[in-house]
Amino acid sequence: MKILITTDWYKPVINGVVTSVINLKSELEKAGHEVRVLTLSPDGHQHFEDDTYYLKSFKVKIYPQARATYNFHSKYLPEILQWQPDIIHSQCEWVSFYFAKYIALKLNIPIVHTYHTIYEDYTHYILRSKRISKSLVLFGSNRAINATDYVITPTNKARDLLLSYGIENPIITIPTGINLDKYRNRISDNRRSELLSQYGITANKTVIVSIGRLAIEKNIDELLDNMQILAKSHPDIVLLIVGGGPYEDALRELVINMKLQKNVIFTGMISPDLVPEYFQLGKLFICASQSEAQGLTYIEALASGIPLLCKYDQCLENVLIEGHNGFSFDTSAEFIDKLLSVLRDKDSYSVLCENAAASAESYSKEAFGKQVAKVYEAAVDTFPGHLPLPVRLIPVLRRRAQESI
């Protein structure tokens, strides 16, 4: 089968969408499918490399690293049409989706769409008015998703949300798979000490770790509030915050204001190749985000043999099994009580770690690729034809492009 994947986000950007596309492409190719990607160029220049069409693009201020294009007459479109994919798998509802729809209409082929992002948690990046921003997000998402043939959601949380939006297409829940092998290798005690010493963390400290993009919707402020209370009675516990993002400077300033410099350490951005090692620096992986459609870092932590301590969210359903591979919390008191109880009992902690690693096995990229391929087969077999979708975004993008010059 020839498969075209369209996405606004791709390498070298690091996020859940990119990870999902990379793993999916790899597994589909292993199964004998021919896969190409259509995306926006990170440097603005149009080129073709590694089976990927990078379209001319320009920066937009809506979201960090976000890009758009007015290149709707790209020289690559005739080439893609001549290649004649059997199906399109769109990963984003915005810029690249319009290319997906155009190609699908021209070739009369189905579109499968994955809903990765709960956009209503990101409306602060669009307009100051939450109500207007949410209306725009709902309109844009619904219009695009209802113009596809099958929808994949990584969790039932995302599926239920789309049903509440009035999405009428078939929706299948398939958890995004990860490369488990990257996280199975355990680092040595010497390597762990070496990494911690880079940040001035001594051997007598107990480390808990948070890994991910530092953005306001990730609710890291709540973790800092919890640490401020915890540090008064347990100054030996250190929170290592791994990653960077648009909210990093504000968080660093907040740590200073809260006088938590000895208890909260930032690493900044690190190489993706080192991320598996950084999971193993902590006794627990902690998170307070409730904006995740899935949250791949939960799976990555489990695959690393690290138990979870996370604020309850529906996306943790079937991932965090209370008392088996981690714990959930709602309040600061619960966070501190469960954290200390885990650290207190070494035997129980060892069992939690074993259970964590075992529970990640069902989230392999191999299983992910096979399940998605079955959706493609169903979409092709039941494809009824398309209704046209007006491409009304083009004038807006052209105007934004002229403003950016």
Give the pLDDT confidence score for residue 308 in this predicted structure: 98
Question: At how many degrees (to 10) do helices 16-30 and 296-303 cross?
Answer: 70
Give the pLDDT confidence score for residue 404 in this predicted structure: 46
Judged by DSSP in three states, 183 sits in helix
Sign of CA dihedral 143, 164, 169, 113: positive
Backbone angles phi, psi at 40, to 5 degrees: -100, 135
Q: Is the peptide bond before 307 cis (omega within 30 degrees of 0)?
A: no
Collect all residues with Cβ–Cβ distance below 8 Å to 290 and sequence separation of at least 6. Answer: 121, 219, 311, 313
192: pLDDT strictly greater than 80? yes
Judged by DSSP in three states, 374 sits in helix
Question: pLDDT band at residue 387, thresholds of 50, 70 and 90?
Answer: low
Point out the least confidently predicted range of 130-134, 205-209, 375-379: 130-134
Other beta carbons within 10 Å of 347:
7
Other beta carbons within 10 Å of 236:
12
Question: pLDDT band at residue 146, thresholds of 50, 70 and 90?
Answer: confident
214-249 pLDDT, tens digit per residue, is 999 999 999 999 999 999 999 999 999 999 999 999
Q: Average pLDDT in the 193-201 region?
A: 97
List the structure tokens of 401: 């492009």
User: In this predicted model, which residue has the larger pLDDT, 165 or 191?
Assistant: 191
Question: pLDDT band at residue 405, thresholds of 50, 70 and 90?
Answer: very low
29: pLDDT strictly greater than 50? yes
Collect all residues with Cβ–Cβ distance below 8 Å to 19 and sequence separation of at least 6. Answer: 176, 178, 296
Point out the least confidently predicted range of 15-24, 139-148, 256-265: 139-148
Other beta carbons within 10 Å of 29:
14
Question: pLDDT band at residue 295, thresholds of 50, 70 and 90?
Answer: confident
Point out the least confidently predicted range of 124-138, 229-243, 284-298, 334-348: 124-138
Give the pLDDT confidence score for residue 136 in this predicted structure: 60
Asked if 386 and 140 touch (Cβ cutoff 8 Å), the reply is: no
Give the pLDDT confidence score for residue 184 in this predicted structure: 93
Give the pLDDT confidence score for residue 344 in this predicted structure: 95
393: pLDDT strictly greater than 70? no
Q: Average pLDDT in the 197-202 region?
A: 97
Distance (Å, whole) CA 334 – CA 183: 29
Asked if 274 and 252 touch (Cβ cutoff 8 Å), the reply is: no
269-278 pLDDT, tens digit per residue, is 999 899 999 9
Give the pLDDT confidence score for residue 397 in this predicted structure: 46
Backbone angles phi, psi at 283, to 5 degrees: -75, -30
Q: In terms of Cα–Cα distance, which of 15, 11, 90 is closest to 49?
A: 11
Judged by DSSP in three states, 364 sits in strand
Sole residue written with tokens 């990765």: 116
Asked if 110 and 87 touch (Cβ cutoff 8 Å), the reply is: yes
Asked if 208 and 284 touch (Cβ cutoff 8 Å), the reply is: yes
Distance (Å, whole) CA 44 – CA 59: 8
Question: pLDDT band at residue 139, thresholds of 50, 70 and 90?
Answer: low
Which class for 370: exposed (0-12), middle (13-18), buried (19 or more C-beta within 10 A)? Answer: middle
Q: What is the pTM of this model?
A: 0.85
Q: In terms of Cα–Cα distance, which of 89, 90, 88, 92 is closest to 63?
A: 92
65-124 pLDDT, tens digit per residue, is 789 897 778 999 999 999 999 999 999 998 999 999 999 999 999 999 999 987 664 544
